[in-house]
Amino acid sequence: MTLDAQGMDATDRAGLNGQAPRCDHIDQLPTVRYGPPECKECLALGQTWTRLLVCLTCGWVACSDDSQGGHAKAHYQETDHPVAATLGPRSTWRWCYVHWRTV
C-alpha cells in the first residue's frame, strides 16, 4: 500500500498531458511594492536596457536578459528570488528562473 500511495502522488504532481509540473513558486509570492522603473545598476554603469523586469519577491527592478546588463538574472543569482515579471500595468508575462520558463 505504501508503494501505491507514493506512485499516485508522483502522478498527481506530473501535471496534465505530460506537461512539466506547474511552477509552485508563484504561489509563494508576497505582495510587493515595485521599485522605480529603471535599472539602477545600468544607470550606475552608464548602460541602457531593452526591457525591465521586476522581481516579484522583493520588487527590485532590473534589466532583462536581452539587455546589455542582464541584471534581473544577476539579481536571481544573488538572491534566489525565483520569479520576475515584465514591468508594466498590463503585463502578464512572468518568468521563473528555477523552472526556466514562463509561468
Task: Please check whether residue 94 is in contact with residue 83, taking contact to mean a CB–CB distance below 8 angstroms.
Answer: yes
Candidates 61, 63, 85, 87; binder of Zn ion (CB under 5 A) is 63
Q: Residue 93: what residue type?
A: W
Q: Which of 52, 55, 84, 85 binds Zn ion (CB under 5 A)?
A: 55
| DSSP 8-class letter at 78 | H
Taking the least distance from each CB to Zn ion, the nearer of 85 and 96 is 96
Out of 81, 84, 94, 95, the only residue in the binding site for Zn ion (CB under 5 A) is 81
Position of cell 504561489?
Answer: 27
CB of 12 to Zn ion, least distance (A): 17
Instruction: State yes or no: residue 41 binds Zn ion (CB under 5 A).
Output: yes
Q: Residue 60 interacts with Zn ion (CB under 5 A)?
A: yes
Q: Point out which span in 6-14, 30-38, 49-57, 87-95 binds Zn ion (CB under 5 A).
A: 49-57
Q: How far apart are CA 27 and CA 30, in angstroms?
A: 9
CA nearest 56: which of 40, 75, 38?
75
